[in-house]
A = this chain, B = another copy of it.
Amino acid sequence: MTRELHLNLFINGRGHHEAAWRHEHATGKALTDLSYYRELALAAEAAKLDSIFFADHVALGEDQEHTARGELEPLTLLGALAALTERIGLIATASTTYSEPYNLARQFASLDHLSGGRIGWNIVTSWAPAAAANFGQERQAGIDQRYERANEFVEVVSKLWDSWAKDAIVDDRASGTYAHSDRIGRAEHRGKHFGVAGALNIPRSPQGRPVFVQAGASTDGRAFAARYAEAIFTAHLQKESAIAFYADIKTQGRTVGRRPDQIVILPGISAAIGSTEAEAQRVWDELNELSHPSVGLARLSNRFGGHDFSHLKLDQVLSVDDFPDPSQVQASRSRSQSITALVARERPTLRGLLHSLAGARGHFTATGTPEQIADVIEDWFVSGAADGFNVMPPILPSQFELFTGEVVPLLRKRGLFRSEYRDGTLRERLGLDSVPSRFDPASPLQRTA
């Protein structure tokens, strides 16, 4: 079987650059307007992308004055988009730290039914420190505690999603038998963080459960991903680090008994596309010109768990001594590590650092012609850095239109990307195995209901 390239559109504000909302080629619509998301979803579906994706945070982001904040909640939004699209996968973030397994399991099962098997769950532990105070917690739990809870959370919801056999409902009007109650089983989970009796009150969904997506890259995050993730979003400023990450995850996956093709790795790419390199570069320059230093500085501080960087000058050359030890950071540890690595490597000014993060918050950024962007994608794909990409257009919808209009056809011509959807669920499109059922006699999960 030839490897298939996978493409996901990450929909974020008016584009991924933090100043995108000000750019003349960004949408004029409000971030609460469904028609904006409908158009992006339909454009992605017309281009035959695997999926679209929404991030999520359970606190208002920093500096609302100078950047566009206040988007819709992803699960309700995916409900709407499930009704408005037919084929494309729909991935939403939801937090294991700030939600209840029974509620989350129901909403994703429901979405999987609504969409006919097109749902993915980006499992996060919520890095932003401000979230804790919205849930009665004095301070954010540490990374290891958050991942401990995440592990048990995934275990519980997996049991809930497995509580109905595929054939539980018989719906026999004549005999009066609606379901076989011995084909519905309880979760009976009793653990450190959760006690959930089950069963779920929603029948088994088309995919069995949502596709498990993950985006954490710290040591704990990678171990979690190797165990559970079926698709991984990941941020790399350089191809080298993407290759190392790719190899590490596939190896860790093998160690816990998983086949490498069952973990689809999707680094982010934020490409400014122009008909010439100069035109593409102009787009970045315009965006950086429009960006406000306070936005990047506030985000930098947040990543490091609230560290104060306000004494640094914009034109000051940075060294790693200006940063706290990233291995101790409890907020966004992996991103803190890649930022300090960049500082050590390149010794940028503060302004320079903020510009390199403004584009896509630590993801790979590229500028070039459609041909050049297709080259990058092909290069990463064939050299063991990626199974596909998390497409993060700096400006929406204009830069996504260039991507689908100019780059995707090149990928097709090179035999890398599909021209039509095959039938099937998101899980099938990603080449993932079907989800075993405890009611299947051949399954290792089999136990009495």
Query: When the two chains form their complex, are residues B34 and A83 in contact, meaning their CB atoms are under 8 A apart?
Result: yes
Query: When the two chains form their complex, are residues B201 and A59 in contact, meaning their CB atoms are under 8 A apart?
Result: yes
Query: When the two chains form their complex, are residues A67 and B178 in contact, meaning their CB atoms are under 8 A apart?
Result: yes
Interface assignment of A40: CB less than 8 Å from any CB of chain B: no
Interface assignment of A339: CB less than 8 Å from any CB of chain B: no
Q: Which residues of A from 86 to 126 have beta carbons under 8 Å from B?
A: 98-100, 102-103, 106-107, 109-111, 113-114
Query: When the two chains form their complex, are residues B195 and A66 in contact, meaning their CB atoms are under 8 A apart?
Result: no
Partner of A201, one of B33, B70, B106: B70
- The complex places the Cα of A178 from the Cα of B73 at a distance, in Å, of 20
Query: When the two chains form their complex, are residues B176 and A76 in contact, meaning their CB atoms are under 8 A apart?
Result: no
Most buried by B among A30, A169, A198: A169
Please name all residues of chain B whose beta carbon is closer than 8 Å to the beta carbon of A75 when the two chains form the complex.
Answer: 75-76, 79, 107
Would A99 and B110 be within 8 Å (CB), given that A176-B22, A176-B66 are in contact? Answer: no
Interface assignment of A57: CB less than 8 Å from any CB of chain B: yes
Taken together, the copies of this chain in the complex come to 2
Interface assignment of A241: CB less than 8 Å from any CB of chain B: no
Chain A 71-84 per-residue mask, 1 if CB under 8 angstroms from chain B, else 0? 11101111111111
A378 to B: closest C-beta gap in Å = 36
Query: How many A residues are at the interface, by size bracket?
Result: 35 or more
In the complex, residue of chain B having the shortest beta-carbon distance to the beta carbon of A63: B181
Chain A 201-239 per-residue mask, 1 if CB under 8 angstroms from chain B, else 0? 111010000000000000000000000000000000000
Q: Which residues of A from 17 to 72 have beta carbons under 8 Å from B?
A: 19, 21-24, 30, 32-34, 38, 57-61, 63-72
Interface assignment of A344: CB less than 8 Å from any CB of chain B: no
A385 to B: closest C-beta gap in Å = 33
A130 to B: closest C-beta gap in Å = 8
Interface assignment of A135: CB less than 8 Å from any CB of chain B: yes
Would A194 and B136 be within 8 Å (CB), given that A164-B70, A178-B69, A202-B71 are in contact? Answer: yes
| A residues apposed to B, CB below 8 Å | 19, 21-24, 30, 32-34, 38, 57-61, 63-73, 75-84, 98-100, 102-103, 106-107, 109-111, 113-114, 130, 133-137, 164, 169, 171, 173, 176-181, 184, 194-203, 205, 290, 292
Pull 28 A–B residue pairs with CB atoms less than 8 Å apart, ordered by A: A21-B173, A22-B173, A22-B176, A34-B82, A34-B83, A34-B114, A57-B201, A60-B184, A60-B201, A65-B180, A66-B177, A69-B178, A69-B179, A75-B76, A75-B79, A79-B79, A79-B82, A80-B80, A98-B102, A100-B100, A102-B134, A102-B135, A103-B103, A130-B197, A133-B195, A134-B197, A134-B198, A136-B196
